[in-house]
Chain A
Amino acid sequence: MSLAPTDFCRPETDEELVGLLEQYDGGALILAGGTFVHGLDARGLLGDVTALIDIRSLGLDAVETGADGLRIGATATGAALAHDPAVCSEAWLGAVADALAFVPTQIRNAATVGGCVATACALFDLPVALLALDGSVAVQGRGGTRSLALQDFFTGMFQNALAHGEFVSEVRLPQPPARTASGFEKLETNANDLAIVNAAVRITLDDAGSCVDARVVIGGGVGATPVRGTSAEQVLAGAIPDETTLRRAGDAAAAEVDPQSDHRASAAYRSKVAGVLVRRAIERALARLA
Chain B
Amino acid sequence: MAIAEKQTTVVGTSVIRPDADEKVRGGRGFPVNVTLPGMLHAKILRSLRPHARIVRIDATRAKQLPGVKAVLLPEDVSQQPYTPVFFVPTLAASMVQDMVVMSDTVRYAGQPVAAVAATSAEIAEAALELIDVEYEDLPAVFDPEEAMAEGAPQLHESSPGNVAVHPVFEFGDLEQGFAGADHVFEGVYRTQRVHTCYLEPRVCVVDADPHGRITVHSSTQHIFGLREKLAFALGVPESRVRVVRPPYIGGGFGGKLDLGYIEPIAALLSMKTEKPVRIEQTRYEDFITTARHPITVHLKTGVSKDGRFTARYAKSVLDTGAHATHGAEVINVHGFFGFLLGYACENQTWEGYTVYTNNMVGGGYRGYGAPQGAFAVESQIDEICEQLGFDPIEFRLANAHHEGEPHPFNPGFTLSSYRLDDCLHQGSERMGWEERTPAGSDSGTKKRGIGLACHPLWVSGCMGFPDIYEHSGAIIKLNRDGTADLAVATIDMGSGQTTTLCQIAAEGLGLPFDAVRIVFAADTETVPFDAPSHASRVTYSAGNAVQAAAEVVKQRVLEVAATMLDLPVEELDTRDGMVVANGASEPALSVADVVTRAESPYVQVGPQGPAPTTIGEKGTIIGVSSQAPPSNPSPATAEFVEVEVDTETGEVEVLRVVFAHDIGKVVHPNAAEGQVEGGFQQGMGYALMEDLQFDQQTGACLTADFLDYKIPTAVEMPRSIESVFIESDEPTGPFGAKSLSEPCVIVPAPAIANAIYNAVGVRVRDLPITPEKILAGLDELGGATDNRASGS
Interface residues of A (CB under 8 A from B): 39, 42, 187, 189-194, 243-244, 247-248, 251, 263-266, 269, 272-273, 276-277
Contact = CB atoms under 8 A, between A and B. Distances in A.
Given A42-B705, A247-B792, A251-B792, A265 B710 contact: no
B176 to A, nearest CB: 46
Given A187-B649, A189-B689, A269-B772, A194 B710 contact: no
Contact of B649 (A42, A193, A244, A276): A276
B479 interface: no
A276 to B, nearest CB: 5
Contacts of A266: 772
B651 A39 contact: no
Nearest to A279: B648
4 tightest A-B CB contacts, nearest first: A191-B715, A189-B710, A269-B772, A276-B648
B792 A248 contact: yes
Nearest to B773: A269
Contacts of A193: 707, 710
B706 interface: yes
Contacts of A273: 649, 771
A254 to B, nearest CB: 11
B33 interface: no
Given A190-B711, A190-B712, A192-B713, A247 B789 contact: yes
B716 A263 contact: no
Given A192-B706, A243-B789, 12 more contacts: A42-B705, A187-B651, A190-B689, A190-B712, A191-B714, A191-B715, A193-B707, A251-B792, A263-B708, A264-B708, A272-B775, A276-B649
B565 interface: no
Interface in B723-776: 770-772, 775
B775 A269 contact: yes
Nearest to B126: A4
Contacts of B649: 187, 273, 276-277
Contacts of B648: 276
Contacts of B703: 263
Contact of A190 (B705, B716, B789): B716
A269 B648 CA distance: 11
Interface of B: 648-651, 689, 693, 702-703, 705-708, 710-716, 770-772, 775, 789, 792
* Chain B contact residues: helix, strand, loop or mixed: loop
B693 A263 contact: yes
B199 to A, nearest CB: 14
A243 B790 CA distance: 12
Nearest to A275: B648
Contacts of B650: 269
A166 B96 CA distance: 61
Nearest to A187: B649
A251 B648 CA distance: 12
B215 to A, nearest CB: 31
5 contacts: A39-B707, A187-B651, A190-B716, A247-B789, A269-B771
A68 B716 CA distance: 40
Given A189-B689, A276-B649, A244 B789 contact: yes
Contacts of B771: 187, 269, 273
A265 B772 contact: yes
Nearest to B711: A190
A191 B789 CA distance: 31
Contacts of B693: 263
Given A243-B789, A269-B775, A276-B649, A194 B713 contact: no
B407 to A, nearest CB: 40
A42 B707 CA distance: 12
Contact of A244 (B705, B706, B792): B792
Contact of B707 (A194, A244, A248, A265): A194
Nearest to B688: A189
Contacts of B792: 244, 247-248, 251
A273 B714 CA distance: 24
A264 B772 CA distance: 10
A269 B770 CA distance: 11
A269 B775 CA distance: 8
Nearest to B768: A189
Contacts of A247: 789, 792
Contacts of A190: 689, 710-713, 715-716
A155 to B, nearest CB: 24
A39 B706 CA distance: 12
Most buried by A among B689, B705, B707, B711: B707
Nearest to A196: B771
B592 to A, nearest CB: 49
Contacts of A187: 649, 651, 771
A272 B770 CA distance: 15
A70 to B, nearest CB: 28
A262 to B, nearest CB: 8
Contacts of A264: 708
A75 to B, nearest CB: 24
A150 to B, nearest CB: 24
Nearest to A245: B792
A92 B650 CA distance: 30
Contacts of B775: 269, 272
Contacts of B715: 190-191
Nearest to A264: B708
A244 B788 CA distance: 10
Contacts of A251: 792
A272 B647 CA distance: 12
Contacts of B789: 243-244, 247
A283 to B, nearest CB: 12
A194 to B, nearest CB: 7
A39 B704 CA distance: 12
A266 B773 CA distance: 10
